Amino acid sequence: MNETNEFKKISTALRLTYPPVALLWSDRRPKQAIQFRKGKWGCIMWLVASAAKRKAAVCDRETFGCFGGGVGLGFGEQYKNFPGGEACFFYFLSTGNATWEKGQAVAKRVKPFMSEKAFGDFIHGERYLKSPEMVKKFVTTLPITEIPTRYVIFKPLDDVAIEREKPKEIIFFADPDQLSALVILANYGREGNENVIIPYAAGCQTIGIYPYREADAEKPRAVVGLTDLSARLPIRRQLGNNLMTFTVPFNMFKEMEGNVEGSFLQRPTWQRLLKGKGEMGS
């Protein structure tokens, strides 16, 4: 019997297009999992989307795709390894490295190894924060983590042997109606109304280090992500343009699964929303 058969209540009630994705820590690489080549640039969200399409994916300290991905999945403070070091990253995320002498010198060295787009961002900045000083403060607030295992693995929840593999968290890809329902369900059995957060962070950080932090908290919260515009581009190409991530520590996921029956998900308002999307009969 599939160990995950009991964990289908949310997926069924929400009529999810893509199955929930389990994130696992492990020292064993799953067979036939996709993985970036060593030193090859890539967005971690490609790997998560692949798992949502039922293909396991994996990364480690040499195959996390980009420096932000290394930080996001818990491989330490990888911004120190950014071309030119942390300082150049501070300019990259804000005003661009063309605005200072060291940045200009580093740009000359790295230009032959970068795509036109990547070099343009390095020179002119992604402009996601107003100044390098603000980026520096942003980095100091991140819950930077060193995970204790070699690999981070993404697998469809249906394919996970729960007792043996012990998922760290569960990631949903949800449209606006489904995201609304997940937020309500996360608060449904709890006191207070702030059991879900939307931190300003990279897409990989909202499915990695922020949920890791919440998993260790006395009162863990769910984390909404994909407010990262750069991460939305690969997700659009793989899964569509109307999805957000909703990530919950595994114990909180089990709590939410246990609250489906008898909840708003079985009442007319939610059923009418499903009918309005053509997912149920008229």
Judge if 52 and 151 occupy the same domain: yes
- Domain extent, residue 48, equals 9-67+146-271
Give the helix ranges, DSSP H, for the chain: 9-14, 44-52, 67-72, 85-92, 101-110, 116-124, 132-141, 162-165, 176-188, 209-215, 229-239, 250-258, 268-276
Q: In Å, how far are 8, 18, 115, 175, 267 from 272, measured between CA atoms?
A: 21, 21, 48, 16, 9
Judge if 52 and 29 occupy the same domain: yes
Residue 139 lies in a domain: no
Judge if 105 and 215 occupy the same domain: no
Overall number of domains in the chain: 2
Judge if 168 and 243 occupy the same domain: yes
Residue 175 lies in a domain: yes
Judge if 19 and 104 occupy the same domain: no
> Tens place of pLDDT for every residue, the chain, 282 residues?
344 447 999 999 999 999 999 999 999 999 899 999 998 889 999 999 999 999 999 999 999 999 999 999 999 999 999 999 999 999 999 999 999 999 999 999 999 989 899 999 999 999 999 999 999 999 999 999 999 999 999 999 999 999 999 999 999 999 999 999 999 999 999 999 999 999 999 999 999 999 999 999 999 999 999 999 999 999 999 999 999 999 999 999 999 999 999 999 999 999 999 987 764 443
Judge if 151 and 231 occupy the same domain: yes
Residue 58 lies in a domain: yes
Residue 118 lies in a domain: yes
Residue 238 lies in a domain: yes
Judge if 50 and 167 occupy the same domain: yes
Residue 30 lies in a domain: yes
Residue 250 lies in a domain: yes
Share of the chain above pLDDT 70, in %: 96
Residue 3 lies in a domain: no
Judge if 123 and 155 occupy the same domain: no
Judge if 162 and 54 occupy the same domain: yes
Judge if 56 and 98 occupy the same domain: no
Judge if 218 and 96 occupy the same domain: no
Judge if 237 and 157 occupy the same domain: yes
